[in-house]
Amino acid sequence: MDVPLLSVIVATLAVGTVGTFFAGARARWVALATSLVFLAEVGLLFLTYPGWPGYNGALVPGFAEGESYSWISLSWMHINYTVGVDGISLVLILLTAVLQIATVIYSWAETKRPAAYFGLVLLTCLGCFGVFIALDVLLFFLFWEAVLVPMFFLIGYWGGPNRRYAALKFFIYTHVASIVMLVGLLALVFYSGATSFDFSAMYTAAHGLTGVVPAFLFLALFFGFGVKFPIVPFHTWLPDAHVEAPTGGSVLLAGLLLKLGGYGLIRWAVELLPSGLHTMQPLLYVVAFLSIIWGSVLSLSQRDMKRLVAYSSINHMGIVLLAIALDSSLGLMAAVLLMFAHGIVSALLFMASGSVHHTFGTRDIPEIGGITPTTPTLSTLIMVGSLASLGLPALISFPAEFAALLATWNALAYWVFVPLIILVVTAGFYIWMMQRMLFGPPRGVPLEAHDVPWYEGASMGILAVLAVLFGVLPGLLVNVIMSSPIKGFPGT
Amino acid sequence: MDLSSFAGPFLPEILLFVGVLSVFLLDVLGVRRIEVTGAVAVIVTALALLFVVADLGFAPFAALATVPAGQVNSVGGSAPLYTFTTLGFVFQGIFLLAAFLVSLASMSRPSDERGAPIFFGLLLLATLGMTLVAIASDLIFLLLSIELTSVATYLLVAYTRKDVRALEASMKMYIIGALSTTLSFFGASLLFGAYGTTNLYEIRAVAGAVGSPVLVLLGYGFLMAGLAFKATLVPFHAWAVDVYDGAPTDVTAFLTGGSKKVGLFAFFLVFLGPVLFLAPGAGGSPFSGGTIDLGPIVQITLSILAVVTMTVGNVLALLQKEMKRMLAYSSISQAGYMLIGIAVGTSPALAGATLQMFAHVFMKTGAFLVVAAVAALGVGPLIDDWKGLGTRRPLLGVAFGLMLLSLAGVPLTVGFVSKFVLFSSAVQAQGYFVWLAVAGLLNSALSVFYYARVLKVMFFDPSASAPTPAGAVVGGSGPPALPVGGLGYGRATAIALIALAILVFGIYPQMVLGPIQSAAQHFVAVGA
């Protein structure tokens, strides 16, 4: 394909973002149009990708749609604008496009400086898209940090009562982590003697590293990416940021920003430093189990629905980390699928908790009950989200969690009972939440309460449909992921 | 030798000198309006900048080059006072850029201000001294050029003659400056005693072979202390904050954006050429064979100074409540980053330090110009006085935000690129320099706290009551509001240019990195 599709998408998003900032009252239309074009282009990307059914080419090893231009060229380092996608990035790019459009629709009635709000939403998505396509260390870091600034403003300006503290905490935690990650990546370049900052050059050079160096580099990268995950004990920014962020911000935060951590770990740490992963495996297991257990235990004790979903994110991302740490192709596939699933489901639940807040004036689970007769649409969507989150078959999380547990069983045998038992607890707190909020006699329902407006219903509806679609047909995504040129995958 | 071939290479300097004379002449003739004197300064600095850029060989202007290609990067004659090096041109460009931006912004001051001719005349005079520093290749020529700059800046700080704080700052700067000059000249005289020459190339040729260790060590020690005052390195920094705080803010913008780098560039000349680029271990161990191998000693000293400077600057910046003092301490910490490049001393590190100084012109000059503009709008000196400014004046807020993000080293800004090149060059040099990079990165992380705090205050905190513009009398009629929302054309243009440059050079740095890299390579090859 001759059109540099990836750069075209970057340009689309950049033009759309700038246009949105200056569109004034029509910002939401510009944002929606940009999102639709983005989605269409991502669709095109899928159609031209080998792993998609209906694509009639042979499996192509290497990154598809690759582009590379010299950017900074000095005697001692060569930095290029190199982009490309494989199945893993493609799945997460789809998630970006879907969540962008859902967020724009959900925030349709935003009245507080809408142009700046929609512009920042688009800028966040542009950064995430860039992270998923970048194959050069500096380009990757650039997009990685480009996500941080708009999110800082989204939380800090549009957030809840304690937003300033939360925004500052979010910025500092993630920025410090980014710096450690950058040191790790730079050290990786210079210690491995890679000739350029490109992924392929580093891939070749990094595999020649021996001794303790890869382990230390892996540790730095693991810390850098782990804070975004977030891993226990560096998770405390997450509940604060989530609770204070506006709903759109929470959706992007949970749906996309956490995935950056997972994606980064796979692409820049696991793929580049397999021996480092091997040495550090026990540490990753401990951290993963801690995150799974601690996230779940904290969820149980939450009254605030948004906080509950936030803590359950820690739990789910813990399973993602576990699946990555297993160092098997099945585990890797499960991790990516689970990230996609969690992106859809947590976005749905955060939107639902935002709608609960709009409708009932509170998100406190014990204070409201029996809302189903008043708000049937919202209740249905909460139910779909919760059931998907607890891993009901035929919904999107199930195949992912099943694959993750299977991979855990293959690698760790009876340790699989740790996540398994915790899954039961997760199911417990979601069912308990539904029981208290949705059913029973009405409690704390204001007389004037009515069902969610069309835009909130529509955006959550899109996500619910996707949760069902990919729950029934997970193979669509699995094929794409498994055709990535990663060792152990059938494509290689 | 006819006049044109002698004078041609000095065209930028001659332009500046003519500018100085004409501004003072206009003053005598009674033409004191800022539109005239300011225009002279803007045009002169812009033209000089154009010629320097041409000397660097940028394609569209290369035809205007004033220095014949054969004279660049070659040592003419024996013991020359000056040498045209590519790195010198880069620094002339940096100095002229700062002077140009400050002159442009200063056009927005009240047109009947009394000190205007003095201000612009002294600004040009200081810039003239700085351009001479950039081509110096003799210790005495170097120190005299620095002195020319210093004397002009002492006066510049106090040019209003009314402001007590500025007078105090000027006095402080003068006393410390005199001390530092004394130290530098004393050091230079000791080196003359040791080497029998003050020419930096000749010193480079004989260093390691002659010179008693005591004289050499003392000489370089005094010289380093003297220059460290100019470059505001900790522990020679105490004067700088009071001066930056007390001086009129436009002058501060020039001091931190321009004249402070004179000291750092002098470090390049004095320590890199004659000391570091000698064959390593020419004398074996530091004290062998009656002479001394200064390289490792200088590198370790500079490394320690770098780490101490950036850490102290950052920690103290964290504690500040006033915007100008916060920026002043952050300026000190930036000097620490630049010193990393000098300590590492490889050509990539030099390129990194030079790029950092280039970036610093935009970031710090720009930040102080915004502070001046905001003060003219009637906002108080405390950081908390800036509450809600970003929402009241979004464009100004975004521009200042860009400068702060660039200072913090956030990607897509020129500050990120410069730190990236600088720190990666330290990592690339390996050895203990990796720890310099780590210290630099930790400091960058620390600095994010106070920059982010300003962003938070500007954009998130609810606005205090709208301030009354300076000079406006409540109930009476104040001075007429300036165009562009009270900024004035000059300031608005300068700030807009700076914000644009931060983004453009942040996204595509190759256009300056290329020349800077080749300049650093030439410098390593030629020496001084």
Mutation target among A17, A71, A72, A112 for the B interface, most CBs of B within 10 A: A72
Q: Give the rounded percent of residues in chain B with a pLDDT score beyond 90.
A: 44
Report the candidate in B60, B58, B52 with the shortest Cα–Cα distance to residue B93: B52
C-alpha–C-alpha distance, residues A182 and A221, integer Å: 8
pLDDT of residue B206: 77
Asked if A175's CB is within 8 angstroms of B420's CB, the reply is no
Neighbours of A102 (CB within 10 A): 26
Tens-place pLDDT, residues A24-73: 888 999 999 999 999 999 988 888 776 555 443 333 335 666 778 888 88
Strand duo A64-73 + A78-85: pairing: antiparallel
CA-nearest residue to A158 within chain B is: B460
The answer to whether position A492 is within a domain reads: no
Asked if B509's CB is within 8 angstroms of A74's CB, the reply is no
Report the candidate in B401, B111, B385 with the shortest Cα–Cα distance to residue B377: B385
Tens-place pLDDT, residues B387-413: 888 888 888 999 999 999 999 988 889
Strand ranges (E), A367-433: none
Measured in angstroms, the CA of A111 and the nearest CA of chain B are apart by: 15
Structure pTM?
Answer: 0.82
C-alpha–C-alpha distance, residues A206 and A276, integer Å: 10
Instruction: Select the residue of B410, B424, B444 nearest A145 (Cβ to Cβ).
Output: B410
Number of H helices, E strands in chain B: 22, 0
In chain A, residues with a C-beta closer than 8 Å to the C-beta of B437 are: 183, 186
- What residue type is assigned to position B225 of the chain? A
Instruction: Select the residue of B438, B445, B521 nearest A175 (Cβ to Cβ).
Output: B445
Tens-place pLDDT, residues A451-473: 889 999 999 999 999 999 999 99
C-alpha–C-alpha distance, residues B448 and B419, integer Å: 14
Strand ranges (E), A284-429: none
Report, as an integer, the average pLDDT of A168-194.
Answer: 86
| Residues in Cβ contact with B419 at an 8 Å cutoff, skipping those fewer than 6 apart | B337, B356, B409, B440, B444
What's chain B's Rg over C-alpha atoms?
22
pLDDT of residue B288: 45
At A176, the pLDDT band (50, 70, 90 cuts) reads confident
pLDDT of residue B380: 85
In chain A, residues with a C-beta closer than 8 Å to the C-beta of B459 are: 153, 156-157
Alpha helices, DSSP H, located in A22-162? 27-47, 87-106, 114-133, 137-158
Q: Is the pLDDT of residue B267 over 70?
A: yes
Complex ipTM = 0.71
- The tokens for B48 are 């000089």
Report yes or no: A178 and A224 within 8 Å, Cβ to Cβ.
yes
Q: What residues are paired with A69 via a beta bridge?
A: A81
- The tokens for B481 are 């509001």
Asked if B453's CB is within 8 angstroms of A168's CB, the reply is yes
Report the candidate in B287, B302, B271 with the shortest Cα–Cα distance to residue B203: B271
Show which of residues 389-408 on chain B sit within 8 Å of chain A, judged by CB atoms.
405
Asked if A156's CB is within 8 angstroms of B459's CB, the reply is yes
Q: Is the pLDDT of residue A105 over 80?
A: yes
Asked if A172's CB is within 8 angstroms of B441's CB, the reply is no
C-alpha–C-alpha distance, residues A32 and A182, integer Å: 34
Report the candidate in A383, A239, A234, A388 with the shortest Cα–Cα distance to residue A304: A239
In chain B, residues with a C-beta closer than 8 Å to the C-beta of A157 are: 459-460
- What residue type is assigned to position B369 of the chain? L
Report the candidate in B147, B95, B144 with the shortest Cα–Cα distance to residue B124: B95
- The tokens for B19 are 């500018």
C-alpha–C-alpha distance, residues A188 and A192, integer Å: 6
Between CA B453 and CA A319, with CA A178 as vertex, the angle to 5 degrees is: 120
Which strand (E) or helix (H) includes residue A64?
strand A64-73
pLDDT of residue A223: 93
pLDDT of residue A59: 32
Q: Does B289 touch chain A (CB under 8 A)?
A: no
For residues A439-477, one letter each, b for 16 or more C-beta atoms within 10 angstroms of the residue's C-beta and e for the rest, the string is: eeeeebbeeebebbeeebbebbbbbbebbeebbeebebb
Report, as an integer, the average pLDDT of B65-85.
Answer: 77
In chain B, residues with a C-beta closer than 8 Å to the C-beta of A142 are: 411-412
pLDDT of residue A81: 87
**Does the bond joining A230 to the residue before it have cis omega, within 30 degrees of 0?**
yes
In chain B, residues with a C-beta closer than 8 Å to the C-beta of A158 are: none
Neighbours of A386 (CB within 10 A): 25
- The tokens for B507 are 């996204």
Q: Is the pLDDT of residue B446 over 50?
A: yes
Residue-wise DSSP of B153-169: HHHHHTTTS--HHHHHH
C-alpha–C-alpha distance, residues A33 and A110, integer Å: 17
Domain that holds residue A293: 5-482
Instruction: Select the residue of B437, B452, B508 nearest A168 (Cβ to Cβ).
Output: B452
At B33, the pLDDT band (50, 70, 90 cuts) reads confident
The answer to whether position A489 is within a domain reads: no
HEC-encoded secondary structure of B422-445: HHHHHHHHCCCHHHHHHHHHHHHH
Report, as an integer, the average pLDDT of B70-78.
Answer: 72
Tens-place pLDDT, residues B160-217: 888 888 999 999 999 999 999 999 999 999 999 988 888 888 887 777 677 778 888 8
C-alpha–C-alpha distance, residues B276 and B298, integer Å: 8
C-alpha–C-alpha distance, residues A297 and A431, integer Å: 15
In chain B, residues with a C-beta closer than 8 Å to the C-beta of A164 are: 456, 460-461
C-alpha–C-alpha distance, residues A192 and A204, integer Å: 9
First to last CA, chain B: 26
Which strand (E) or helix (H) includes residue A250?
helix A247-252
Asked if A187's CB is within 8 angstroms of B427's CB, the reply is yes
C-alpha–C-alpha distance, residues A466 and A455, integer Å: 17
Measured in angstroms, the CA of A491 and the nearest CA of chain B are apart by: 35
Report yes or no: B183 and B225 within 8 Å, Cβ to Cβ.
yes
Asked if A153's CB is within 8 angstroms of B510's CB, the reply is no
pLDDT of residue B292: 61
Report yes or no: A154 and A248 within 8 Å, Cβ to Cβ.
yes
Q: What residues are paired with A136 via a beta bridge?
A: A198
pLDDT of residue B84: 87
**Does the bond joining B235 to the residue before it have cis omega, within 30 degrees of 0?**
yes
Q: Is the pLDDT of residue B492 over 80?
A: yes
| Residues in Cβ contact with A329 at an 8 Å cutoff, skipping those fewer than 6 apart | A482, A486, A487, A488, A489
Average model confidence (pLDDT) across chain A: 88
Which strand (E) or helix (H) includes residue A85?
strand A78-85
Tens-place pLDDT, residues A385-438: 999 998 888 899 999 999 999 999 999 888 889 889 998 888 888 998 999 888
C-alpha–C-alpha distance, residues B363 and B356, integer Å: 10
Q: What residues are paired with A80 via a beta bridge?
A: A70
Report yes or no: B12 and B134 within 8 Å, Cβ to Cβ.
no
Asked if B430's CB is within 8 angstroms of A190's CB, the reply is yes
Mutation target among A17, A137, A142 for the B interface, most CBs of B within 10 A: A142
At B116, the pLDDT band (50, 70, 90 cuts) reads confident
3-state secondary structure of A142: helix
CA-nearest residue to A187 within chain B is: B427
In chain A, residues with a C-beta closer than 8 Å to the C-beta of B445 are: 175-176, 179
Neighbours of B332 (CB within 10 A): 26
How is residue B380 annotated by DSSP?
-
Tens-place pLDDT, residues A273-302: 989 999 999 999 999 999 999 999 988 888
Q: What residues are paired with A277 via a beta bridge?
A: none
- Cα torsion angle, A348, A352, A358, A364, sign: negative
Q: Phi/psi of residue A70, each to 5°?
A: -70, 140
Asked if B412's CB is within 8 angstroms of A145's CB, the reply is yes
Q: Is the pLDDT of residue B276 over 70?
A: no
CA-nearest residue to B421 within chain A is: A77
The answer to whether position A490 is within a domain reads: no
CA-nearest residue to A73 within chain B is: B510
Q: Phi/psi of residue B287, each to 5°?
A: -115, 70
Annotated domain spans of chain B: 8-281+291-465+485-526
Instruction: Select the residue of A142, A172, A183 nearest B452 (Cβ to Cβ).
Output: A172
- Side-chain-facing half-sphere of B23: CA atoms under 13 Å: 27
Report the candidate in A450, A19, A489, A40 with the shortest Cα–Cα distance to residue A266: A489
pLDDT of residue A56: 39
- What residue type is assigned to position B44 of the chain? V
C-alpha–C-alpha distance, residues A128 and B505, integer Å: 23
For residues A183-197, one letter each, b for 16 or more C-beta atoms within 10 angstroms of the residue's C-beta and e for the rest, the string is: bbbbbbbbbbebebb
Report the candidate in B437, B450, B371, B436 with the shortest Cα–Cα distance to residue B407: B450
Instruction: Select the residue of A74, A153, A187 nearest B348 (Cβ to Cβ).
Output: A74
The answer to whether position A240 is within a domain reads: yes
Show which of residues 493-522 on chain B sit within 8 Å of chain A, judged by CB atoms.
508-510, 513-514, 517, 521
The answer to whether position A491 is within a domain reads: no
pLDDT of residue B149: 94
Asked if B437's CB is within 8 angstroms of A171's CB, the reply is no
Domain count, chain A: 1
Which strand (E) or helix (H) includes residue A186?
helix A163-192
Tens-place pLDDT, residues A231-264: 888 888 998 899 899 999 999 999 999 999 999 9
Report, as an integer, the average pLDDT of B446-454.
Answer: 89
Between CA B447 and CA B453, with CA B452 as vertex, the angle to 5 degrees is: 105
C-alpha–C-alpha distance, residues B509 and B355, integer Å: 9
